[in-house]
Amino acid sequence: MGRCEGRVAIVTGASRGIGVAIAERLAAEGASVAVAARSLEAHPRLPGTLRETVERIEKQGGRALAIQADLLDAASRTGLVQETEAKLGPIDILVNNAAAAFYKPFEQISDKRFRVAFEVNMRAPFELAQLVLPGMRQRRRGWILNISSATSQHPVGPPYAAWATQSGDLLYASTKAALDRFTTGLAAELYTENIAVNSLSPVAAVMTPGATAHAVVPEGTFVEPVEVMAEAALVLCTCDPKQLTGRIAYSGPLLEELGLPIPH
């Protein structure tokens, strides 16, 4: 029997990249997975659709449901949870993976980009957690995983490395730092209720279609296989909430710490 047998999961941002890998890994362990993204159709520049994610999971013998959900819209966020519960059952696992990533120098960050970044990267995970929490509390079990980024760490300096001075990641990094603090605070609040809340980031660049299209990974950068993130996510979505919660975890180091093999 798989580690997620009989459980229901939501994975946002599951058209491509890390979201697809996590959804497939949870499904392979027996979870029924609702995969969500802004559109069911093909992106004008990026490969991958929700329908293709469902097809891949079903071909491997898993169960998945594609749900169109615009995380900028509160009604759409509510609808995602309600449809998942109606068609798959009570939600055991929430993976907040979807993100809005803008790489712009500080003075070029518009009000709209600021609002979109915080709405998708912070407000949506916050509200989705509120929506799934009553069911988790009722069953006294649950796993909430927020996908963060190593950019949330404070720049080291002075002097500062080229990435810190030139990448334009200030807005994106700030939203992920807020997400990490939300993670640890919620984990503390829910500790007595057997609900784990963790944050997970890759230790290196993951060459997702989005990262490739936006050319945010400098040439020569060490690249981490997406399977490492998926395996670490599985651990944090099946762990004992009394032993592994409130962690700002990094993929490979987490697997090493637990004595688990690292996919290559």
Looking at the annotation, which residues are catalytic?
172
Query: C-alpha dihedral over 102, 236, 95, 224, to 10 degrees?
Result: 40
Would you call 64 helix, strand, or coil by DSSP?
strand
User: CA 145 to CA 4: how far, in whole Å?
Assistant: 15
User: CA 238 to CA 244: how far, in whole Å?
Assistant: 10
- Are 86 and 10 in contact by the 8 Å Cβ rule? The answer is no
The DSSP code sequence of 73-105 is: -HHHHHHHHHHHHHHT-S--EEEE---------
User: CA 29 to CA 142: how far, in whole Å?
Assistant: 16
User: CA 12 to CA 9: how far, in whole Å?
Assistant: 10
Collect all residues with Cβ–Cβ distance below 8 Å to 177 and sequence separation of at least 6.
Answer: 152
